[in-house]
A and B are shown apart, each in its own frame.
Chain A
Amino acid sequence: MATRTGIPGGTAAGNAAVTLSKEEVLRYSRHLIMPEVGMEGQLKIKQAKVLCIGTGGLGAPLGLYLAAAGVGRIGLVDFDTVDFTNLQRQVLFGTSDVGRPKITAAADRLRNLNPEIRIDTFETHLTSENAFELFKDYDIIVDGTDNFPTRYLVNDASVLMGKPNVYGSIFRFEGQITVFGFPGGPCYRCLYPEPPPPGLVPSCAEGGVLGVLPGIVGTIQAAETLKLIIGKGEPLVGRLLLLDALAMKFRELKLRKNPDCPVCGEHRTVTKLIDYAEFCGIRGEEAPNTVTNIPEITPRDLKSRLDRGDDLYILDVREPHEYQICNIHGHLIPLGELSRRVHELDSSREIVAHCRSGKRSAEAVQFLQKAGFRKIWNLKGGILAWSDEVDPSVPKY
């Protein structure tokens, strides 16, 4: 097994003054009796400082294993509160945590797991303004975020500060894991110079995720983080690990440092943090509606028109499995099939398109307008808003 010289920032150097208490020796005994960790490795772990961006699906197993392993200082950055839809995969949280800030619930859980370590909490969005300040006290950054702007921000800040970035991302049942920003190794921009334009890649909210998938991916991120700390083994540098949990297959692809990379290449053009929302082509973090000037109808207005007996054609552009969860008796044509099934629609009738939240149906309305439909509206806020404003018996998902 190759031995690495440890991470930049220098926890690997060790500190003669740091020792383990009797309680810690007992707690970490299964590490201590293992030659690859031993007392030397455990003291490195105790002195390590790791910042976790996000305490969601990836951050949950990551935080649990890093805390259990005895990482001396763990920073948590999140701005969200726990909701019921999180509990299917975010194993840091319990039902009684619903409504609490995630970092508060996470810190309580991790302190209970291991009172010997320090947990720092930052209830904030990571931004270009605060990234350097948040990163400066930590040796390793772990990216457990869920959107492109933050991923590019985490990458650029890590590279500019010379800190490794343990990367994991997930979609449905597929995961990608690697270590970026290791000295001499590639960064996220070497792999993907630019993000996809908004709307072209479905988000997790649309795509869903197998609950256990972030558990697997986040646990691999935890393993890579611990390996970087103790400086043992082969770090996942220059290799992109792909997981297809449905086939349960791991594949590994070569990941090269791009000499033309704008952040870590020879002629770098990015030397400070930029506006990442703009870079990713969106104004807000999760722009609810990337399509503008779409005629809308509110759920209440739709309900009163239907009650009046108006002849409205309800077009549901969600997927069949979503229709099974709940529906308002619309005619189902998934957005992806709309272009080849457009002949099923009668442009002389008034059409109201809807989806879950109003985003996909806005695209459908825009497409149909281009196809010559004039009497068409988007249901504002989708079936979620219908449930809130008209019929609470419709379950939200």
Chain B
Amino acid sequence: MDHAEISCLVSRSVADVAMVCLLSILPLSLMFEEWKTMKFAGFFLLFAGFFLAVAALVLLPGLGARIGFVLCALALEATGLTLAVRSHMAEALEVSR
């Protein structure tokens, strides 16, 4: 398996993880209030970041590609954390009143 094939495989895996995350959010949105759904969506993104980092480490051979993918994973986690924090802000206003 050459470098291009591996990169393609990793990209497809990331897309799959993102799709699973999005599909999982739909049933959750029916079960919980809006802010709770957002928090769970954030946690899915955090998990996705974890798997992306591990996948990059295992599948990619070069240092540059690995750093790139791990930085993407960090960005994904930052997005997830932002979603979770935004949902908390909505919740905090309700609880604190």
Q: A and B from one assembly? A: no
Residues of chain A whose beta carbon lies under 8 Å from any beta carbon of chain B: none
Residues of chain B whose beta carbon lies under 8 Å from any beta carbon of chain A: none
